[in-house]
Structure 1
Amino acid sequence: MILLAPFLLLGLLTLPALWWLVRATPPAPQDQRFPSLLILNRLTARREDAARSPLWLLLLRMAAVALVIFGLARPVLTPHQAETGNGPLTLVLDDGWAAIPHWNERISAALALGETAIRNGQDVTLLHAARAPDGAMPEAFTTHDAHALSEHLSRLRPQPWPTDRQALASLLQHRDLSGQRVMILSDGLATDGDNALHDALAKARSVQDMRWNGCDILRLAASTGQDGALHARVDTLSCPTRTLTLHAANANGGTLAAYPVRTGQDQTISLPPLLRNQLDHLTLEGATGPAAVHLMGQADHRRPVGILQTPGDATPLVGSAFFLNRALQPISDLHSGDATALLGAPLSVLIATDGALSGDQTRSRVLNWVRHGGMLVRFAGPGLAADQGAASDATSDALLPVHLMSGMRQLGGPMSWGKPQTLAPFPETSPFSDLTIPPDVTVSRQVLAKPETGLTDHVWAALSDGTPLVTARAEGNGEIVLFHVTASPDWSNVPLSGLFPDMLERLIERSAGVAGGGPSELAPWRIVGSDGGLIMPPQATRSIRVSDLAHTPVSVTHPAGLYGPAHGTHALNLSDSAPAMKEEALLGTRISPDGAHTDRPLGPALMTAGLLLLLLDLILSLRRRGLLGALGVACLLILPVAHAQTPTQMPPLPTTVPQAALDTRLAYVITGHDDIDTVSREGLQGLSDFTTARSSATLGHPDGVVPGKDDLAFYPLLYWPVTPDAQPDPERTKALNAFMDHGGILLIDEQGAGTDTDSGTSSAARAALQRVTDGLVVPPLAKLTEKHVLAHTFYLLHSGFPGRVAGQPVYVARNGDEANDDVSPVIIGNGDWAHAWAVDGSGNHPFAVIPGGEDQRTQAYRFGMNMVLYALTGNYKNDQAQYPEMLRRLGTPDNGAAATSPDSVDEEDAP
């Protein structure tokens, strides 16, 4: 411990004088009443001496004054340092992206080491290992003032690019380190310049290497595999394997999906097509900086699809383009037109139905486009079958993956002995290999491929008799794919099956993305900052050639971020072209950062203790003088006056009263899954805030309940997200029946099972719903329409009742049930409303809403608010007494002539 103002200890010399001043304290005078003066005659005079203060009180006063004096002397507790040494101190600070996990500890250690050296009369020099945003190495900072060092360190931030130890070594070569103590605050990650730095430090008097736990350095990498799927991986140093959470997010930061990922192992990012097209970046939960973010870039996943039009091809239920549009619209960026219009814009896949490639100029242009990286998907038909009998040219042959036989083959029907053929299992080399073939998919007509050597190498799908259904061949840098059937149901029922969009989706994923048309030089648009967010590029950032993007390492001139035009960006990530992570060899004697702590000032604590002792002395002195009681009476007289000036407060309620009995709250059923329960709580919180802000209803925080254990009587609406593993519970069923019987409304949500957000749990969710609702007294249900009171309880809803997903039906009790005043006790749907309502601690919406975005989220909030007010007020909106007010808002006089339905009121004009 040291004293920053030791001269103030001279104040201790005043303690003897203080002792002399306060040691004699006369006792308080006493009033005594005598019944008669005769008693005075019996009193004998007695000499009384002045009373002295007791020793313990004098010691208390001396201790209080001494503590105040010691506090004014500014004592500082200095922690034990690992090694102080003599001579000037040079601190080398690793401030690249790998230093982010322990940045605050690193700054604290640098300050502690610097303060120790400055107290010993030594200068401190600070050097940086990463380049500054202007591209230059930061200048050395030298000081002998602890305050200046603290101010300088507090302004430092880590850089989102690697350290440049080669440049640091060159800087050290020009400095005299012969009498210097060098302390390196290393991130522990090996780089190409480590040997050069080691040689540059050889002339220093001593070198120490302070390191933190290298297992906290994580680097997220992602790539597209040969199967077309996205694979993610979290790289670390040689550390034990641990499990982290990986989030797939859209451009607004909404979570599309979350995956558990183990360090050092690949994780497949499987998303439905609709969500895959929205994927903007991957983030690692619990980590920050560019190493925890992997950007996709628009050019990495934009795969526009074009359909060559032919006359009458888009006729509903007949034309081939009609079925292609229905299959492709949910999974791609779809365009239609002629070859000139389609190939004049960026395009990944071109689909040509039968007869669409007519004309030599069109065929030549399409062939040239394919050879430059495009994918052509053709469909057979009568026109293609007839063309095989005529003379063909080289261009026509080049636009087919295999040679075809003339005519078509018919299977089944009055003119054929055969019968329609089913599909054979897909070959392992086919992009369709893991797709499930429905047993009812058959083919009745096809064009046949000539049986030639090597034909099987081009077959991606075949019929059960071995004849090809889909063939493909590489042409230049692109591919040509042929379906040997039509895109309409004329020749097969493939276009009517769920297999058809799945096959087209695999072909789109296999395509090479946007081919051509972009700039050769990609200017920086946004870079990833130290906190993981996108910021403006710094001064030193330079453009990248498209051809160099794949092998450009991240540096100060090319930081991780997005390059190119705003609507066609290319991503450069920290893991791209980066070497494997290795631990850096020690640059000196290894020391632990455990002992590097900053000084702790003791002055405020000592002064506080001294003032408390003086307060105690005051109380004891009043007590000895008999004034403590008077002080207490004065406080009692003052308290009623102060109490009268404050608003009247209700006495505290017994602790046994539930909080839900004091304010209106929504509730959700606890499922036992932390992620689902968290979403339920955040969703009902968002709905409660929305309702409170837009109506006179004031809702408190939502509660999680367990039916059968918790009292449900306080809640008007109970949200129940049914999980696929939910099991029946008699106690829960009994409690829910009682809840609905007494006027409560139960909202059952299948959470989007079977939709694009959760396509794999449809059957499991339906089975779970049947299990858990067995025994519930549910009235006959009907599909919710805009005529129901729920559609105009507050907002007038005409566009459905969406949640996170749209288009899912909602079921309520059928109208006409006199029980509970014709109010539906149960609402069942699959909209996944909680994810749409959810609001996190920052007030943001963490989950994306598809396909309508924020407009759909608004609709979900409005439907949720209608449900809340429906639960609170019942079906009063069906009362005819409400009609005049609603007609007044429509501007229609209530004369009976214009019997306008209240359902026609626009949502924005709702009461």
Structure 2
Amino acid sequence: MSFLAPYALIGLLALPVIWWLIKATPPPPTEQRFPSLMILNRLHPRRADTERAPLWLLLLRLVAAALVIVGLAQPVRVAHERSLAAGSGRLVIVLDDGWSAVPHWSERVRTARLLGDHALEQQNEVVLVRAARGPDGALPEPFATRDRARFDALMGRLRPESWGLDRHGLVPAIQALSDGGRARVMVLADGLATPDDAALKGALEALGDVTDIRWSACDIATLGATTASGLKARVSVLPCPARHFEIHARSEQGGTLAVFPLDIPAGLSQAQTDLDLPAILRNQTARLTLSTGAADGNGTALAEMNMGPAGIRLLDEGDRRRPVGLVATPNDDTPLVGSAFFLSRALGNIAELRHGSVDQLLGGKLSVLIAPDGTLSQEGLQHRVDAWVKDGGELIRFAGPAMAPGGDTPDARVDPLLPVALMGGVRQLGGPMSWGTPQKLAPFPEGSPFSGLNQPSDVTVTRQVLARPSSELTDHVWARLTDGTPLVTATRSGRGEIVLFHVTPSPDWSNLPISGLFPEMLQRLIQRSEGVRGATATATTLQPAETLDADGILGPPPPGARALPASAFGNTVPSAEHPPGLYGPHAQRRALNLGDAMAALTPEMRLGTPMTPRSARPEQPLGPLLLACGLLLLLLDLVLSLARRGLLRRASLALMLPVAGWQAAHAQALPTQPSAPSPAATTPATTPAGVTPAGPQASDAPPAALQTRLAYVVTGHDDIDQASREGLDGLSKYTADRSSAQLGPPDGVHPGTDDLAFYPLLYWPVTEDVQADPKRTAALNAFMAHGGIILIDTQGAGTELDPDGGGASRAALRRATDGLAVPPLMKLDDHHTIAHSFYLLHDFPGRVSGEPVWVARHGDEALDDVSPVIIGAADWAHAWAVGPDGSTPYAVIPGGEDQRTQAYRFGVNVVLYALTGNYKADQMKVPALLQRMGQ
């Protein structure tokens, strides 16, 4: 133990004086009863001015005074002083400050500062050596000082780097320190192995005694992804206990588009998962982020940790955008007839589809061009499309009558945009004019991009154009019929590809375009394309545009950042010269990520004697604790002194009298206040004294009875319930800020169990696993019958958020509303009271827009013609949601923040509609009233 103010201990000399001052106390008063005046004559008073205090009281006061004096001397306890002060001379601190140090960076800096401060107090020199290269691309020079202020200032400025360590360059720097003699070495290692660990260990041992301090390497993880066959995320960790991760797909504004859980069992070092995102969400995904925490028994993350740039996977233009252009022709989109009609239906949910002429489509960013029969017959267009394909485009063509004129002359079949040469005419398979029968699909070849797809047995082909037989034809065939004739052929052209379907994109020649296999085949072809960067990939080297710092924030590149060859992306590990981030111009943007090319993580060998971070705890000041104990003892002495003199009882009575007076006055005032009769007021007068009458007390009232609150139905899905709670909380605050309605925090309820009578509005997110429940239905019917409104939300099912969930959502909605007293419905329009109960609205978006909202056609007259139910699929809760930090965590599609504002306004209108009913409907009758009044 040491003292920061040792001269304050002189006050201990005052203890004898204190003993002399407090050794005597006044005697306590003596109470005597006088039964008769005769006894007074027998009393002989004795003079007793003072009485010695008991020994325990004297010791109590001396201990209190000693604690106060010692506390003023500011004692400090040094934890594990022997381990920190072992040896003398220089202290060399080797600090790992690369990306792997981010999860425990604050603890590393605190430990390094503690070690350095303790050595500086012993008048020893401290040398700090950093293991990662700096922003200028050079390894920082060792920092040596004997000044504590300079050392603390440096530690306060230190930040980890977003690239790895340079162990190879660190070895010579450590060897150069050997010229100053032996030293104590403290290594704050990250725990990840490198090829130079053995050389570094030898250099450290030659310098002096080495102590290895490290934190749990199980908190280190890297996030990578592949986009060759769909978006797949890969998480790499050290072999550790089971871990739970969540991968968030985020937009450029930081909003969450989707969340994918991933569990890595104990002992495994890598796992991957498919990120199945709708095309419109994937196109808006700018980055994938990794959040991690220790997993409990249910696999739920308990605590998040900052992973730094290793937990971020940036997506570039080619990763997230593959726009598809469909060449349009007049009247080609006629429903159930035109080829564009069937192609649009097949591509609507899997691609970003654009319509237009060839010139219009190639004038913008395009990854895939789909050309039905007859759209590329002009020679000028063929040359332009051919150049686009050779520059990385993907051309998909379909056959038809224009591609197969009569005859078999080779000159008539010259077309540079065909993968194989064709024979003239159309092959007829089945029908009154043919001896053949319709052919089915043969299994896809092993090297075909369609390999692995499920082939329906009912897909048949009745007509096709035939490929001219040749020795190389087999190399170009991706799909065949059962008789061996090609159905889909392809060839490479420059960096691009040309694919030909030997049938039409409409059901004229085959029922393939109306089968479930057709969109899957198109999706495989789109995934093979290079993306929009293929159209402009002309630069051989890409300059850094924005780079990630240790906090995962994109910013200007550091001074040492250098250009990177375009061919090196995907196999380059980020470094100080090539930090992780985005490279190249915006149209040709490429992403360099830590987790894409990094080798598997392996544990690092011990570099010295192991020491846990807890063994280097900071100094603990004892002064405040001693002062607090001393003051508590003095307060105890005061209480005991008052008790010995008989004054404690009088003081307590004096304090109780004002309280009793206030209670009496309050009890007299209660009958004069208007209130409902309480059970106590109706209790008979024969209630025994001291027995509390039965009945509810004021404190038993639910919060919703004392404050207006919104409610949501608990679904049992943690993510949906959290979004409902955050959404209604955000809507309540938005409503309170812009209207006179003051709403409390929302409540989660279970209809049929909880009392719904306190809530004006109930938000019900319907999930696919909802089941019919008679108790819930009865409770909701009673809720609506007494004026409550239910807002039913299928959360974007069947929309761009969840294009495949429409059928399951409709079935779930039928189960949920089975037995519910839902009146006849109509679409909500801008003439309904909801559209102008506060804001004037013409549409009613949520997280998605354009979805219809249904309300009662005629409300209950007993309830002021108010619709008891509102049904939609706009996913309002995610649009209203506000996170704990005040941000809006979920992105809205496609209108951005303007659409979120409209969603909030719709929510305000619904809340005020639930609170006030149809009073705004009277304003719609003003013209008729004025007409009847003759004005």
The answer to whether the superposition gives a TM-score over 0.5 is yes
Note the aligned Cα RMSD (angstroms).
3.9
The 3 A distance-change label for structure 1 pair 896 and 383 is farther
The residue number in structure 1 matching 2:279 is 273
Structure 1 residue 737, shift from structure 2 partner: 2.0
Structure 1 residue 834, shift from structure 2 partner: 1.6
Q: Distance in 2 between matches of 1:355 and 1:99?
A: 61
Q: Distance in 2 between matches of 1:140 and 1:207?
A: 17
Q: Which amino acid aligns with 2:542?
A: L
The 3 A distance-change label for structure 1 pair 617 and 566 is farther
| Residue in structure 2 matching 1:809, options 852, 860, 867 | 852
The residue number in structure 1 matching 2:791 is 747
The 3 A distance-change label for structure 1 pair 345 and 850 is closer
The residue number in structure 1 matching 2:50 is 50
Q: Distance in 1 between matches of 2:2 and 2:506?
A: 89
The residue number in structure 1 matching 2:189 is 186
> 8 Å contact 2:349–2:800 — kept in the other structure?
no
Structure 1 residue 294, shift from structure 2 partner: 0.5
> 8 Å contact 1:177–1:205 — kept in the other structure?
no
Correspondence list, 1:546-625, <5 A: 546-566=566-586, 568-621=588-641
The residue number in structure 1 matching 2:298 is none
The residue number in structure 2 matching 1:909 is none
The residue number in structure 2 matching 1:114 is 116
Structure 1 residue 172, shift from structure 2 partner: 1.6
Structure 1 residue 219, shift from structure 2 partner: 0.8
Q: Distance in 2 between matches of 1:795 and 1:317?
A: 42
Structure 1 residue 434, shift from structure 2 partner: 5.8
Structure 1 residue 146, shift from structure 2 partner: 5.5
Correspondence list, 1:615-694, <5 A: 615-621=635-641, 654-694=698-738
Q: Distance in 2 between matches of 1:865 and 1:66?
A: 65
The residue number in structure 1 matching 2:687 is none
> 8 Å contact 1:277–1:331 — kept in the other structure?
no
| Residue in structure 2 matching 1:699, options 738, 743, 768 | 743
Q: Distance in 2 between matches of 1:631 and 1:247?
A: 64
- Name the SS of the counterpart of 2:784 in structure 1: helix
Structure 1 residue 663, shift from structure 2 partner: 0.9
Structure 1 window deviating more from structure 2 (431-440 vs 165-174): it is 431-440
Structure 1 residue 764, shift from structure 2 partner: 3.4
- Name the SS of the counterpart of 1:542 in structure 2: coil
- Name the SS of the counterpart of 1:356 in structure 2: coil
| Residue in structure 1 matching 2:209, options 203, 206, 209 | 206
> 8 Å contact 1:309–1:337 — kept in the other structure?
yes
Q: Distance in 1 between matches of 2:141 and 2:272?
A: 42
1:524 aligns with 2:544: yes
The residue number in structure 1 matching 2:555 is 535
Correspondence list, 1:128-527, <5 A: 128-144=130-146, 149-175=151-177, 176=179, 178-225=181-228, 228-263=229-264, 264-286=270-292, 287=305, 288-308=307-327, 320=339, 332-333=351-352, 342-343=361-362, 346-386=365-405, 389-392=408-411, 396-410=414-428, 429-432=447-450, 445-452=463-470, 455=473, 457-461=475-479, 467-487=485-505, 491=509, 502-513=520-531, 514-518=533-537, 519-527=539-547
The 3 A distance-change label for structure 1 pair 73 and 433 is same
The 3 A distance-change label for structure 1 pair 748 and 418 is farther
Q: Distance in 1 between matches of 2:31 and 2:275?
A: 92
> 8 Å contact 1:178–1:203 — kept in the other structure?
no
Structure 1 window deviating more from structure 2 (103-112 vs 203-212): it is 103-112
> 8 Å contact 1:186–1:210 — kept in the other structure?
yes
- Name the SS of the counterpart of 1:876 in structure 2: coil
Structure 1 window deviating more from structure 2 (36-45 vs 355-364): it is 36-45
The residue number in structure 2 matching 1:903 is none
Structure 1 residue 312, shift from structure 2 partner: 6.6
Q: Point out where structure 1 has 5 or more consecutive residues left out of the alignment.
A: 900-911
Alignment length (residue pairs): 886
- Name the SS of the counterpart of 1:470 in structure 2: strand
Structure 1 window deviating more from structure 2 (759-768 vs 706-715): it is 759-768
The residue number in structure 1 matching 2:915 is 872
Q: Distance in 1 between matches of 2:734 and 2:659?
A: 42
> 8 Å contact 2:74–2:623 — kept in the other structure?
yes
Structure 1 window deviating more from structure 2 (512-521 vs 734-743): it is 512-521
Q: Which amino acid aligns with 2:249?
A: A
Q: Distance in 1 between matches of 2:495 and 2:52?
A: 107
The 3 A distance-change label for structure 1 pair 635 and 453 is same
The 3 A distance-change label for structure 1 pair 140 and 71 is farther
> 8 Å contact 1:64–1:613 — kept in the other structure?
yes
Structure 1 window deviating more from structure 2 (190-199 vs 57-66): it is 190-199
Structure 1 residue 791, shift from structure 2 partner: 2.8
The 3 A distance-change label for structure 1 pair 897 and 331 is farther
Structure 1 residue 256, shift from structure 2 partner: 1.8
- Name the SS of the counterpart of 2:284 in structure 1: coil
String of CA shifts for 1:345-398, please: whole Å, max 9, x gaps: 55322233333333444323332332332211122232211287455389x444
Structure 1 residue 244, shift from structure 2 partner: 1.4
The 3 A distance-change label for structure 1 pair 169 and 306 is same
Structure 1 residue 301, shift from structure 2 partner: 2.8
The residue number in structure 1 matching 2:818 is 774
Structure 1 residue 115, shift from structure 2 partner: 4.1
> 8 Å contact 2:249–2:256 — kept in the other structure?
yes
Structure 1 residue 42, shift from structure 2 partner: 7.8
Structure 1 residue 668, shift from structure 2 partner: 1.1
The residue number in structure 2 matching 1:18 is 18
Q: Which amino acid aligns with 2:566?
A: V
Correspondence list, 1:775-790, <5 A: 775-790=819-834
Structure 1 residue 98, shift from structure 2 partner: 0.7
- Name the SS of the counterpart of 1:590 in structure 2: strand
Q: Distance in 1 between matches of 2:434 and 2:866?
A: 61
Q: Distance in 1 between matches of 2:812 and 2:172?
A: 68
Q: Distance in 2 between matches of 1:355 and 1:46?
A: 132
> 8 Å contact 1:189–1:581 — kept in the other structure?
yes
The 3 A distance-change label for structure 1 pair 336 and 697 is same
The 3 A distance-change label for structure 1 pair 6 and 62 is same
Q: Distance in 1 between matches of 2:811 and 2:348?
A: 31
Structure 1 residue 464, shift from structure 2 partner: 6.9
The 3 A distance-change label for structure 1 pair 344 and 813 is closer
Q: Point out where structure 2 has 5 or more consecutive residues left out of the alignment.
A: 265-269, 293-304, 664-668, 676-695
The residue number in structure 1 matching 2:681 is none
- Name the SS of the counterpart of 1:14 in structure 2: helix
Q: Distance in 1 between matches of 2:906 and 2:482?
A: 50
The 3 A distance-change label for structure 1 pair 281 and 603 is same
Q: Which amino acid aligns with 1:20?
A: W
String of CA shifts for 1:719-770, please: whole Å, max 9, x gaps: 2222222233332222222212222122222222233323444433333333
Q: Distance in 2 between matches of 1:272 and 1:582?
A: 36
Normalising by structure 2, we get a TM-score of 0.85
Q: Distance in 1 between matches of 2:436 and 2:827?
A: 46
The 3 A distance-change label for structure 1 pair 797 and 491 is farther
The 3 A distance-change label for structure 1 pair 309 and 47 is closer
> 8 Å contact 1:346–1:515 — kept in the other structure?
no
- Name the SS of the counterpart of 2:883 in structure 1: coil
> 8 Å contact 1:388–1:404 — kept in the other structure?
no
Q: Which amino acid aligns with 1:239?
A: C
String of CA shifts for 1:471-506, please: whole Å, max 9, x gaps: 322233221111233445665666667765554443
> 8 Å contact 2:371–2:395 — kept in the other structure?
yes
| Residue in structure 1 matching 2:897, options 854, 878, 881 | 854
> 8 Å contact 1:560–1:573 — kept in the other structure?
yes
Q: Give aligned-pair identity as a percent.
A: 57
The 3 A distance-change label for structure 1 pair 566 and 629 is farther
Structure 1 residue 423, shift from structure 2 partner: 6.2
> 8 Å contact 1:177–1:204 — kept in the other structure?
no
Q: Distance in 1 between matches of 2:481 and 2:517?
A: 14
Normalising by structure 1, we get a TM-score of 0.87
